[in-house]
């Protein structure tokens, strides 16, 4: 059976907010193929199923920060209300309140993505522990190798692009003597 949604697409939607790995309501609505207002309506009708560690509303500051950081949250393209962020448990609960086959199937794919992410983080931590043990075991001759490996393990810094454009013009003739009679 092929996946309805690729794991890579889901992994790209997972954000780290307030120490939780979350997916925003608009991204979930897109995955479930429902409108954001329908998703929010179902959540409001079932508030008792969504405690704070399942779902929370972003603060205005968090929302503005996300808009600046990702540029995907364009003004006017989303609801005038602040978005909800759903944790893994909140996503699992969502499939039960949306009552659609697609919600259940997509939810399975999302759960797989969260599990893969957890396994990746655990294996990275395990690799760091093994590297530390090896470093203690061997002398300073291999320190350069261990430092290089550690540097490869750290995620790259996001590249910042300059905004705007550069105009190349000839310099204005101010202050230059003019040739008379030419």
Closest-CA residue to 106 (of 46, 54, 169, 32): 32
Tokens coding 180: 């008379």
Do 132 and 148 belong to one domain? yes
Whether residue 65 is contained in a domain is answered as yes
With 0.85 as the threshold, say if the pTM is over it.
Answer: no
Res. 1 pLDDT band, cuts 50 70 90: very low
What's the farthest any 2 CA atoms get from each other in the chain? 89
Predicted pLDDT of residue 76: 47
Q: What is the CATH number of the domain that holds 67?
A: 3.10.260
Task: Give 118-126 contacts, CB < 8 A, sequence gap 24+.
Answer: 124/153
Instruction: Give the side-chain half-sphere CA count within 13 A for 109.
Output: 21
Q: Are residues 51 and 25 part of one domain?
A: yes
The per-residue pLDDT for 17 is 85
The pLDDT confidence band at residue 163, using thresholds 50, 70 and 90, is low
Q: Looking at the structure, do residues 145 and 115 belong to the same domain, yes or no? A: no
> What's the domain range around 31?
7-121
CB-based contact 9:106 (threshold 8 Å): no
Same domain, 91 and 139: no
pLDDT, average across residues 81-106: 81
The tokens describing 171, both together, are: 């310099």
Query: Is the predicted pLDDT of residue 170 greater than 80, yes or no?
Result: no
Residues 39-67 have pLDDT tens digits of 899 889 988 888 888 899 988 888 888 87
């Amino acid at each position: 059976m092929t996946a309805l949604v690729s794991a890579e697409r889901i992994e790209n939607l997972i954000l780290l907010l307030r120490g939780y790995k979350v997916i925003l309501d608009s991204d979930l609505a897109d995955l479930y193929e429902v409108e954001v207002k329908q998703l929010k309506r179902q959540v409001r009708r079932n508030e008792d199923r969504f405690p704070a560690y399942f779902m929370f509303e972003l603060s205005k500051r968090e929302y503005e920060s996300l808009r600046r950081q990702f540029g995907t949250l364009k003004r006017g393209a989303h609801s005038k209300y602040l978005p909800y962020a759903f944790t893994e448990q909140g996503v699992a609960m969502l499939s039960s309140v949306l009552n659609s086959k697609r919600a259940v199937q997509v939810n399975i794919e999302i759960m797989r993505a969260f599990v893969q992410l957890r396994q990746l983080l655990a294996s990275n931590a395990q690799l760091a522990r093994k590297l530390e043990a090896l470093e203690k075991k061997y002398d300073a001759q291999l320190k350069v190798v261990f430092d290089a490996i550690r540097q490869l393990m750290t995620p790259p810094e996001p590249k910042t692009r300059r905004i705007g454009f550069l105009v190349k013009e000839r310099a204005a003739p101010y202050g230059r003597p003019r040739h008379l009679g030419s």
